[in-house]
Amino acid sequence: MEKTSVAHELELTVTTQSKRQKVVDERFKEVEVKEKEHQVLTLKLGEIKKQIEFKPDKLKAVEIEACGKEKELDLLRNQIKLEEEKLIEVRKSVKNTQSELELKKKELRQRSNVIIKNEQHSIGEETELSSVSLGHHDVSRVLRATRNPTEYVLDLVEREIRNAHQREESGLQNSVVENLILFLEELEDIGGSVKPQLRLKATQVATLWKGMIRTEAPRSCVEALTFLLFVVAYGLESLINEEETALLATSVFHYKQGPRIFHSLGLKLQIPEFVVDLITTRQYIPAVRLTCLLKLTDYSPSNILMKEIIDLRRATLEKAENNDVGRLRAILELVADYKLDIDIPGDLITKLMLPRENSTPPVLHCSVTHRPKLNISSSDQEATFSPNVFAATRSNVDLRAPKREFKPFVNSSANCRY
């Protein structure tokens, strides 16, 4: 019994010691973990101390950078002051230049008056273009008598633009515009190069003019045409961007000068799109003119013109207006100029050209005799604007019925359809 109890006690002692050993081992491991955590914290604390030590250096660097920025700002302020002083000097120089320009313009007017008097066409020194109705031959004589036609026309345009701008007008008067067209077209016939100094001056004038006419919606189609002729004459195509060019061109392509302006402005590739727009908006006469002038093969001029004849006949069922007469004459001119074979109702011709009561003749066939085509200069094409040239133009259409000569009807107002 004693041996059994002793053995039992030994077992208990061994078990207790093993448990204690396990507890000691666990405590030892916990101590090791704590030591590692302590080491990590010590390292972090060292890094934090280093960061704290580096912060004053960073603050100093920021302060130095701020000082540098302040110095740069001071330099910029000084540069701005210098630029302002230069701007004031430039303004003074511009005023002096304008004064000199006014004197030169007066001298130019006096010189031109002397030339015109020598040609027995006296015009007063302060005469404005708006008070004179000029003809093609008058303009031709004046320009060909001047030493520098390019500068002469530029001075004319500048004077009118400056005067209109000072009067705060939205554009030029129609009479002024019509005369300027004659000068610009005659200048194109004369030819000649534009010197850089003149081109710079023309750029300033065109810039002022561009702001007056509102390229997105020109007040006057005739003035838009004059502006584009001026741009082409002085090589200022870069002054207007592609969108402005297209907007202005679409407002003038129904004039005889329109296709030529399209070529000069590099819009030939866009012309088919304009023709489609014209047909869609029932503007058949300018569509036919563009199609024939540029020899577009995608459209039939005769078919397009027949649509215009149908519209015109409907419009004249009740009462014929002057505008309807002009439309018919435009049709006859297109038929003659481009040798179109088309049937025109005889009653329409009779009603508009040979008014008689209770007359309903049969349909007449309009054909073109193959006569030698006259060489008409661009200045002669100005019949759209100058009444002095109207009497010199007549359609070459032959009708199988008694006919009489007539002068082409043109509405001189800025009508954007015809």
% of residues, the chain, pLDDT over 70: 73
The mean pLDDT value for 247-272 works out to: 73
Q: Which two tokens stand for residue 203?
A: 């750029």
The mean pLDDT value for 380-404 works out to: 33
Place 159 in a pLDDT band, splitting at 50, 70 and 90. very high
Residue 155, pLDDT score: 92
Let me know if residue 382 belongs to a domain: yes
- Higher-confidence residue of 216 and 255: namely 255
Asked which of 63, 78, 106 is the last residue of a domain, the reply is 106
Per DSSP, what are the bridge partners of residue 344?
A: 364
Contact 387, 381 (CB under 8 A): no
- Residue 343: φ, ψ to 5°: -90, 125
For residue 95, the surrounding DSSP H or E stretch is helix 2-118
Instruction: Tell whether the model's pLDDT for residue 411 goes beyond 80.
Output: no
The mean pLDDT value for 37-51 works out to: 85
The mean pLDDT value for 74-97 works out to: 89
Asked which of 63, 90, 106 is the last residue of a domain, the reply is 106
Let me know if residue 334 belongs to a domain: yes
Let me know if residue 379 belongs to a domain: yes
Residue 283, pLDDT score: 83
Which range marks the domain in which residue 348 is found?
279-418
Residue 400, pLDDT score: 30
Q: Which two tokens stand for residue 103?
A: 């004197």
Give the SS3 label for residue 167: coil
- Other CB atoms within a 10 A radius of the CB of residue 64 amount to 9
- Higher-confidence residue of 411 and 117: namely 117
Mapping DSSP onto H, E and C, the string for the chain reads CHHHHHHHHHHHHHHHHHHHHHHHHHHHHHHHHHHHHHHHHHHHHHHHHHHHHHHHHHHHHHHHHHHHHHHHHHHHHHHHHHHHHHHHHHHHHHHHHHHHHHHHHHHHHHHHHHHHHHCCCCCCCCCCHHHCCCCHHHHHHHHHHCCCHHHHHHHHHHHHHHHHHHCCCCCCCHHHHHHHHHHHHHHHHHCCCCCHHHHHHHHHHHHHHHHHHCCCCCCCHHHHHHHHHHHHHCCCHHHCCHHHHHHHHHCCCCCCCHHHHHHHCCCHHHHHHHHHHHHHCCCHHHHHHHHHHCCCCCCCHHHHHHHHHHHHHHHCCCCCCHHHHHHHHHHHHHHHHHCCCEEECHHHHHHHCCCCCCCCCCCEEEEECCCCCCCCCCCHHHHHCCHHHHHHCCCCEECCCCCCCCCCCCCCCCCCCC
Q: Which two tokens stand for residue 258?
A: 């329109």
- Higher-confidence residue of 143 and 290: namely 143
Let me know if residue 79 belongs to a domain: yes
Residue 95, pLDDT score: 86
The lowest-confidence range among 15-19, 148-152, 183-187, 200-204 is 15-19
Q: Which two tokens stand for residue 294?
A: 């540029």
Enumerate residues 6+ apart whose C-beta is below 8 A from 392. Answer: 380, 383
Q: What would the pLDDT profile of 358-367 be if each residue is shown by its tens digit? A: 444 433 334 3
Let me know if residue 44 belongs to a domain: yes
C-alpha Rg value of the chain to the nearest Å: 44
Asked which of 52, 85, 106 is the last residue of a domain, the reply is 106
Q: What would the pLDDT profile of 180-235 be if each residue is shown by its tens digit? A: 888 988 888 887 788 889 999 999 999 998 888 776 656 788 888 889 899 888 98
How many domains does the chain divide into?
A: 2
Place 96 in a pLDDT band, splitting at 50, 70 and 90. confident
Place 123 in a pLDDT band, splitting at 50, 70 and 90. very low
% of residues, the chain, pLDDT over 90: 5
Give the SS3 label for residue 398: strand
Let me know if residue 188 belongs to a domain: no
Residue 158, pLDDT score: 92
Enumerate residues 6+ apart whose C-beta is below 8 A from 297. Answer: none
- Higher-confidence residue of 204 and 262: namely 204
* Mean of pLDDT over the chain: 73
Helix-, strand-, coil-residue percentages of the chain, each rounded to 5: 70, 0, 30
Q: How far apart are CA 28 and CA 149, in angstroms?
A: 112
Let me know if residue 62 belongs to a domain: yes
Instruction: Tell whether the model's pLDDT for residue 350 goes beyond 90.
Output: no
Let me know if residue 328 belongs to a domain: yes
What CA dihedral angle connects 126, 132, 134 and 138, to 10 degrees? -40
Residue 376, pLDDT score: 33
- Higher-confidence residue of 230 and 349: namely 230
